[in-house]
Structure 1
Amino acid sequence: MSDKKTKTRDQIDQKYKWNIESMYPNEADWDKDYNAVMQMSDEYVKYSGRLGESAELLLEAFQEKDKIWQVAEKVYVYARMKLDEDNRVTKYQAFSDKCHTLLAKASASMSFFTPELLEIPEEKLLGFIKEEPGLKLYEYLILDILREKAHVLSKAEENILAQMSEVTSATKDIFSMLNNADIKFGTIIDEDGDVVEITHGKYINFMESYDRRIRKDAFERMYEAYKKQINTIATTYNYNTKTDAVSARIRKYDSSLAATLSSDNIEKEVYHNLVDVVNKNLPTLHRYMKLRKKILGVEELTMYDVYVPLIEIPDKTVSYEEALDIMRAGLAPLGEEYLSKMNKGIEAGWIDVYENEGKTSGAYSFGSYDSMPFILLNYSEKLKDVFTIVHEMGHSMNSDYTREAQPFVYGGHSIFTAEVASTVNESLLMQYLLKNETDVNMKKYLLNLYIEEFRTTLFRQTMFAEFELLTHEAVERGDVLTAEWMCNEYEKLNKKYFGEVISEDEYIRYEWARIPHFYNSFYVYKYATGYSAATAISNKILKEGKTAVHNYIEFLKSGESNYPIELLKIAGVDMSSPKPIEQAMETFEKLVDEFERLV
């Protein structure tokens, strides 16, 4: 893979491609499943108005619903992943388009289910569970639906809200169109003297450049573009936040935060614990920023100096086979069973390794309940790619364990827990590399990389979470989110988080305007809580050994069989308490201490 020209898919050796054909060895079977879902969806309306007739009928309706979604998921995943192999193939473009119709059809056919289930008197519904043993499987799901009963409206009202969703979700689409299609950031002169257009993808590479002029130019061009659009973006975000507040009010929640957390049955204290503990530990981040200024040797530390790596290392290639060996060594603390399952997965064809023309960029773990937990990579033989493999393998192993242990209805993962398995793997790999590295410069590089993971995931996402809280509380007080108010509040937050060592500039106040996650409200905090939980779990595994590994594997098997907070307790972490976040902060402080000693 040393030549620079991107290969076509047929030029990639088969051993580096995923075994997606295992899903549908004959694509005629894909058509059969597609048509079966369409037919089953048409027939599902026979249960409408009848769910309360008997325990047997309710069980049948649950089972049929699962069957439809299980087949629909497989059909969709195959189409999506075949398209990801080469997005230019019209056959799979058509497959993927057909799946959107399929999923909409299935959703519409079952839209009556939850409102009608809630119309059954609670005593009668609980009696059904006692009467029909098969309903015991669905008891957790039924109780969860009942928990939300006070916030579910009548059939007619729910129908109105469902129809209005296309309108109420418009702000996200408007921002996406502006941010990805219309806004232009201009060009800069790169290291080679070439004129290069700034894009979202290239921006972070410019921010990591060792040429400070490039960082400054890219930073200023980027935020100048947002500054020019700031009133439009502020209006869009204002109405996005208003939609959250109105929706929460209609559904009888006391706040937008409570409404959002309710789906995972998470108390508001979990969110506030995160913000409070991170705020108490900001002095350590400020110390690291001062160290950054010292190492860079700049008179003033600016926001465009924040992402450049502090330690330079020679370019070193890591072959894919070497990467797998490093992964095996790094994940050895998870035990023989974990490694054996992982190795079998690699041999069976979980992973699609190299880039090819038309292939979807980035990396992911994906699959259906009935398929392998596939991994898409675009491996480029860099150290960061090793971390990517380990990260995605964490997701895939989580899926593999869950699908073996759980029925389809609980075979997925909530966002709150999903990132834990991937981040535990990254943490174990990092600690393995640090422990075994003998080159001092490389050790400094790894420490800096680890510190930056904490900064960008735990601190930065918590700062975003705090900004979301400010904006939603303002709207709930009846305030209007003006561009000036949001820029001022964001600037204060940025100063609080980064400390006095960062010199003031006229641009960072516009950063909030480029964050797409703000249109998926109260989402980013899950990155920070997940990172904290993963840090606590990986430390437990390394300190306690087999007992901690056993508990962690049990967590990996749990899927969505309980609420996220309860599932994480299986692995020995209680996220309703501030303790895991405090422990993560202690780890961060130790890393900064060690880095400071070495530099």
Structure 2
Amino acid sequence: MRQIPQRSAVPTALTWDLTTIYPDDAAFTTALGEIQTAADQAAQLKGQLATSGADLYRVTTAIFALYRQIERAEVYASLKNDQDTGNATYQGLADQADALAAKVGTAVAWFEPEVLALSADQLQALIDQEPQLKAYQHYFDVLGRQRAHTLTADEERLLAGASDIFDASAKTFGVLSNADLEFPVVQDEDGKDVRLSEGLYGVLLESVQPAVREQAFKALYRVYQQFRHTFASTLSSEVKTHNYTAQIRHYGSAREAAMSGNNVPAVVYDTLVKTVNQHLTSLHQYVALRKELLGLPELHMWDLYTPITGEPSLKYTYEEAQQEALKALAVLGPDYVANVQKMFDSRAIDVVENQGKRTGAYSGGMYDTKPYILLNWQDSLESLYTLVHEMGHSMHSHYTRTNQPFQYGDYSIFVAEIASTTNENLLTDYLLKTQTDPKVRAFILNHYLDGFKGTVYRQTQFAEFEDYIHQQAAAGQSLTADFMSDFYGKLNHRYYGDAVVSDPQIADEWTRIPHFYYNYYVYQYSTGFAAATTLAQRILSGDAAKRDAYLGYLKSGSSDLPLNVMKKAGVDMTQPDYLETAFQTFDDRLAEFKQLAEQLKRQ
């Protein structure tokens, strides 16, 4: 039986090297003491920033230096914990970092309210007094947009001190999902016993054997359904937290509060949902084609991920995937490729699954560290796409941090998914240009269509669900498991149409989606994928100016408003055009795939 290895059994070369953040846990502990001292000193700066421009600069730089220190500690503890969430030592480090972050937040909670207590003219006068403050001009301009939503210093201090409490629901979900749930033994395609996990689940759903897919689907949901009421409680509490903080900050809704934090207007969200719903027919056509080509009497939810073309003919070891990634991304230029190679060579990637490791994949790190990538590698095309996707995030982070000062050394989550999905689009183009076998091309097109389905359609479905439960909770509705499952089941049927059976388990899918705890994050996967379609086309045009405009976006960080950054890159996200371009690409590739599939049937 295939066993997931213990962390200690994973080869060092396949793990990330966190000693570049702190050489060891003792150094981390020492840093916590230094941060506590700096936080105490920062608290004493209250009331000093409005005296002169020089004082405003002194206080501002001290606050940002503290942010820099605590972010480093949080990243180290988080990465250590994620590599083995069942390790009590690293659970403790993460708890210490989170608790100290709350204390830091409390210590500096006065800062932004004190800045905002100044009128716009008073603040600008101070900035004009001190030339070094020009480097913070955009930061202060953006902060000024929050004047109506910032509380008094004492109120902000109380909220900051409660941040660890507000995070409790998400943490409980994470511990349950990643460490405490015990998944059963199932059979793989060879009839061998394997221990089911979230990582293996995705692989088994791609099996060409219907019985393997069905078994994995039902086994996974049996586990989650045992705890559906617990998950309803954690999700309900998270939603209440979002609604509560939005209310006390004088926003009309949690959605408005979340989007305002990224300086994104509501029209972007509404346009996405409206446009996607206008194109559900395309998804219904694809689902119906999937049923036809698979030759199934009934198409179930567990049949939506297996390649229509049969056994995946493209599999990659991790080493092979690195070389393919470098070739696919070469269109972005030699400097970009060199930085990707550096990621591969510097143990910046934690590659394989181990017991207790956080599921899924992400890119992490902060301004003073290299970007890090967490993977749960499987030898599949999907894992290659995941590698390229996360590398897009990491290169975005690298270019931002090497071209911007710390105060602009991060970027809005609204633009974060664009870099990653642009890389995915470039990989698809590379594969379609280099693979001539009709079966392989059909497989790639199928993968693209599935990716579009899973990103643009599926994440917008999630966005609709997320907005609905926030609205319902705000109106006084109790978010019970039955209530949420009833709506989710109907929503899922509307998206996928009559060609797929609405299996009862899918109504409980919300129980296992971590992004519902991210406060209106998921819609950005959809907008990001659509914007990436346009950007990839611009890059692939061969016009160096368009490629450089894209690299300019990667380098911008938070030095400008996110919509302005994207306009400079060549995409106006206030208009629906970029969405229509994405759906046209989907329809074109669906038509090409259908033609190829019919050709293969005749052979």
**TM-score bracket for this pair, using the shorter chain length:** 0.7 to 0.9
Following superposition, the deviation at residue 411 of structure 1 comes to 0.5
Find the counterpart in structure 2 of residue 400 from structure 1: 398
Q: Which moved more, 1:292-301 or 1:87-96?
A: 87-96
Distance 1:382 1:505, change over 3 A: closer
Q: 1:489 aligns with which of 484, 487, 490?
A: 487
Cα pair 1:83 1:89 within 8 Å, conserved = yes
* Counterpart AA for 2:562: P
Change (3 A) 1:330 1:466: same
Match of 1:284 in 2: 282
Q: For 1:274 and 1:209, locate their aligned partners in 2 and report how far apart those are by CA, in whole Å.
A: 32
Query: Which deviates more, 508-517 or 296-305?
Result: 508-517
In structure 2, how many angstroms separate the alpha carbons of the residues matched to 1:246 and 1:81? 30
Counterpart in 2 of 1:452?
450
Measured in 2, the distance between the counterparts of 1:179 and 1:93 equals: 15
How far apart are the structure 1 equivalents of 2:455 and 2:187?
A: 30
Between 1:404-413 and 1:133-142, the stretch displaced more is: 133-142
2:247 maps to which residue? 249
Partner Cα separation in structure 1 for residue 353 and residue 213 of structure 2: 28
C-alpha distance in 2 between matches for 1:338 and 1:230: 45
Pairwise CA distance, 1:36 = 3.6
Cα distance change, pair 377–120 in 1 and its aligned pair in 2 (3 A): same
The aligned length equals 596
Could you report, residue by residue, the CA deviation over 1:243-292 in whole angstroms, capped at 9, with x for unpaired residues?
Answer: 43343232221222212211011111110111111111111111111111
Out of 131, 134, 140, the position equivalent to 2:132 is: 134
Offset of residue 440 of structure 1: 1.5
The superposition leaves residues 375-417 of structure 1 with CA deviations (integer Å, 9 ceiling, x where unpaired) of: 4455555443333332232222212211121001110122211
* 1:370-409 matches, cutoff 5 A: 370-377=368-375, 379=377, 381-409=379-407
Corresponding residue of 2:578: 580
- TM-aligned CA distance change 1:420 to 1:196, over 3 Å: same
Aligned residues of 1:168 and 1:243 also touching (Cα < 8 A): yes
State the one-letter code of the partner of 1:139: Q
Partner of 2:600: none
- Taking the aligned partners of 2:218 and 2:6, their CA distance within structure 1 comes to 36
Inter-partner Cα distance in structure 2 for 1:111 and 1:480: 33
Does the 8 Å CA contact 1:536/1:573 hold for their aligned counterparts?
Answer: yes
Q: Quick check: 452-461 or 544-553, which moved more?
A: 544-553
Which residue is equivalent to 1:441?
Answer: 439
Task: Give the C-alpha shift of residue 80 in structure 1.
Answer: 5.1
**Contact in 2 for aligned 1:459/1:528 (Cα 8 Å):** yes
Question: For the residues of structure 1 that align with 2:229 and 2:30, how far apart are their CA atoms?
Answer: 51
SS at match of 2:363: strand
The one-letter code of the counterpart of 1:461 is Q
* Structure 2 partner of 1:120: 118
> What amino acid sits opposite 2:557 in the alignment?
G
Give how far 1:429 is off. 1.3
**Residue 59 (structure 1) aligned to one of 43, 57, 60:** 57
Quick check: 1:424–1:538 contact (8 Å CA) kept in 2?
yes
Residues 313 and 442, structure 1, Cα contact 8 Å, conserved in 2: no
Q: Matches of 2:445 and 2:494 in 1, distance apart? A: 24
Distance (whole Å) between structure 1 residues aligned to residue 144 and residue 219 of structure 2: 51
Label 1:53 to 1:371 Cα distance change in 2 as closer, same or farther (>3 A). same
Instruction: Return the alpha-carbon distance in structure 1 between the equivalents of residues 555 and 484 of structure 2.
Output: 43
Segment of structure 1 superposing worse, 467-476 or 226-235: 226-235
CA distance in 2, matches of 1:567, 1:114: 25
Aligned counterparts of 2:239 and 2:376: Cα–Cα separation in 1: 36
Is this contact kept in 1: 2:178–2:356, CA < 8 A? no
> Can you list the C-alpha shifts for 1:479-507, whole angstroms capped at 9, x where unaligned?
44455543333233222211121234444
**1:312 alignment partner in structure 2:** 310
- Report if the CA contact (8 A) 2:309-2:439 is conserved: yes
Shift of 1:205: 3.6
Q: CA deviation at 1:566?
A: 1.7
**Residue deviations 1:10-64 (CA, integer Å, cap 9, x gap):** 99476x6666555567998767655443332222222112222222111111111
Alignment of 1:453-492 (within 5 A): 453-481=451-479, 483-492=481-490
Shift of 1:87: 7.8
Q: 1:73 to 1:275 in 2, by over 3 A?
A: same
What CA distance in whole angstroms lies between the structure 2 residues aligned with 1:84 and 1:175? 14
- Give the distance between the partners of 1:579 and 1:163, measured in 2 at CA: 44
Deviations 1:171-190 (A, max 9, x none): 44555566567766766565
Contact 1:355 1:378 in 2 (8 A): yes
Distance 1:496 1:141, change over 3 A: same
1:323 aligned partner: 321
The TM-score, its normalising length taken from structure 2, stands at: 0.87
Assess if the C-alpha contact under 8 Å between 1:468 and 1:518 holds in 2: yes
The aligned residue for residue 563 of structure 1 is 561
Does structure 2 conserve the Cα–Cα contact (< 8 Å) formed by 1:313 and 1:445? no
Q: Given the superposition, is the C-alpha separation of residues 362 and 214 from structure 1 closer, same or farther in structure 2, using an over 3 Å criterion?
A: closer
Distance 1:357 1:454, change over 3 A: closer
Query: Are the aligned partners of 2:102 and 2:160 in contact in 1 as well (CA < 8 Å)?
Result: no
Change (3 A) 1:233 1:111: same
Per-residue Cα deviation, 1:440-478 (whole angstroms, up to 9, x for no partner): 111111111111111111100101111222233334444
1:115 is aligned with what amino acid? P
Q: Distance in 2 between matches of 1:427 and 1:405?
A: 25
Unaligned ranges ≥5, structure 1: none
Q: Is the 8 A contact 2:106 2:161 kept in 1?
A: no
- Mapped contact 1:7–1:355 kept (Cα < 8 A): no
Residue 13 to residue 139, structure 1, CA distance change in 2 (3 Å): closer
**Which residue among 39, 42, 45 is the counterpart of 2:40?**
42
Q: Is residue 260 of structure 1 aligned with residue 255 of structure 2?
A: no
In the TM superposition, what is the alpha-carbon distance from 1:541 to its structure 2 partner? 0.8
Taking the aligned partners of 1:177 and 1:220, their CA distance within structure 2 comes to 22
Q: Residue 541 of structure 2 aligns to a residue in which SS? A: helix
Separation in 2 of the partners of 1:596 and 1:177? Answer: 43
- From the superposition, tell whether residues 469 and 11 of structure 1 become closer, same or farther in structure 2 (CA, over 3 Å): closer
Q: What CA distance in whole angstroms lies between the structure 2 residues aligned with 1:72 and 1:593?
A: 51
Unaligned runs of 5+ in 2: 598-603
- Deviating more after overlay: 210-219 vs 261-270: 210-219
Letter in 1 for 2:455: T
Tell me the SS of whatever aligns to 1:47.
coil
Other-structure match for 2:271: 273
Letter in 2 for 1:564: P
Change (3 A) 1:186 1:340: closer
Q: 1:594 aligns with which of 587, 592, 595?
A: 592
Letter in 2 for 1:469: D
Alpha-carbon separation, structure 1, partners of 2:47 and 2:477: 44
Bigger mean CA deviation after superposition, 541-550 or 345-354: 345-354
- Which of 543, 546, 549 is the aligned partner of 2:544? 546
Q: Is the 8 A contact 1:9 1:357 kept in 2?
A: no
**CA distance in structure 1 between the aligned counterparts of 2:359 and 2:241, rounded to whole angstroms:** 33
Corresponding letter in the other structure for 2:429: Q
Whole-angstrom distance in 1 between the partners of 2:370 and 2:239: 39
Cα 1:358/1:153, change in 2 over 3 Å = closer
C-alpha distance in 2 between matches for 1:213 and 1:11: 32
Is residue 105 of structure 2 the alignment partner of residue 107 of structure 1?
A: yes
Inter-partner Cα distance in structure 2 for 1:18 and 1:523: 27
> C-alpha distance in 1, partners of 2:87/2:174?
25
Question: Match of 1:445, as an amino acid?
Answer: F
- Please state if 1:298 is matched with 2:283: no
Distance 1:574 1:503, change over 3 A: same
Preserved contact between residue 404 and residue 557 of structure 2 (Cα < 8 Å): yes
What TM-score results when the alignment is normalised by the length of structure 1?
0.87
